[in-house]
């Protein structure tokens, strides 16, 4: 049993999982929003909040700890210079997860994870699910035919 073992395995080896989290965190901090599957988004939220807390500390030791995870100096500079002051009064919860539907190929649940923006930096979230109707069904409804092959008289 996995009692008291935190974190998701995501069907990966530990080294692959660690590399995946590093890449997702780096992309999230650089672009401030990424689209990924629900379990990955929930796991990257834990790590991103920890890295932003390091940025809020602002010390040299915290910067070196952040560089162990992020490994991109420009992104760490953005974290400490831009993002940390934005969240200085916020005690936690720096990310937001918005579920946006299912992936077309394998029907995996997809989410948008983004950094919570202040009032002046607010970015509008996507409207949610979109339904598309195929042309065949729409044409069939207009003509009154049913199915792919309408009955011929």
**Residues in a beta bridge with 34:** 113
pLDDT tens digits for 106-143?
Answer: 999 999 999 998 544 545 555 555 555 555 555 555 55
Q: 52 is in which domain, residue-wise?
A: 14-118
* Residue 83 domain-assigned (yes or no): yes
pLDDT tens digits for 33-61?
Answer: 999 999 999 999 999 999 999 999 999 99
* Residue 142 domain-assigned (yes or no): no
| Range 76-92 average pLDDT | 96
Q: Find out whether 76 and 95 touch, Cβ atoms under 8 Å.
A: no
> Sheet holding 33-37: strands in order across?
33-37, 109-115, 95-102
Q: How far apart are CA 26 and CA 71, in angstroms?
A: 8
| Of residues 137, 49, 38, the one with CA closest to residue 95 | 49
* Residue 66 domain-assigned (yes or no): yes
CATH code assigned at 103 = 3.90.1030.10
The answer to whether residue 10 scores a pLDDT higher than 70 is yes
What is the count of structural domains for the chain? 1
Q: What's the token pair of residue 76?
A: 């760490």
Q: Find out whether 34 and 113 touch, Cβ atoms under 8 Å.
A: yes
Band of residue 146 on the pLDDT scale cut at 50, 70, 90: low
Band of residue 4 on the pLDDT scale cut at 50, 70, 90: confident
* Residue 107 domain-assigned (yes or no): yes
* Residue 7 domain-assigned (yes or no): no
* Residue 44 domain-assigned (yes or no): yes
């Amino acid at each position: 049993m996995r009692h008291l073992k935190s974190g998701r395995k995501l069907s990966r080896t530990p080294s692959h999982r660690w590399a995946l989290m590093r890449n997702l965190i780096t992309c999230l901090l650089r672009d401030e929003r990424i689209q990924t599957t629900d379990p990955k988004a929930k796991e990257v939220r834990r790590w991103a909040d920890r890295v932003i807390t390091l940025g809020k500390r602002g010390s040299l030791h915290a910067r070196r700890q952040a560089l162990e995870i992020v490994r991109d100096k420009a992104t760490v500079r953005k974290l400490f210079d831009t993002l940390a002051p934005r969240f200085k009064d916020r005690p936690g919860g720096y990310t937001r997860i918005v579920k946006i539907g299912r992936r077309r190929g394998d029907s995996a649940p997809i989410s948008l994870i983004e950094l919570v923006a202040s009032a002046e930096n607010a970015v509008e979230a996507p409207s949610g699910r979109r339904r598309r109707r195929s042309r065949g069904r729409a044409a069939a409804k207009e003509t009154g035919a049913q199915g792919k092959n309408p009955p011929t008289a």
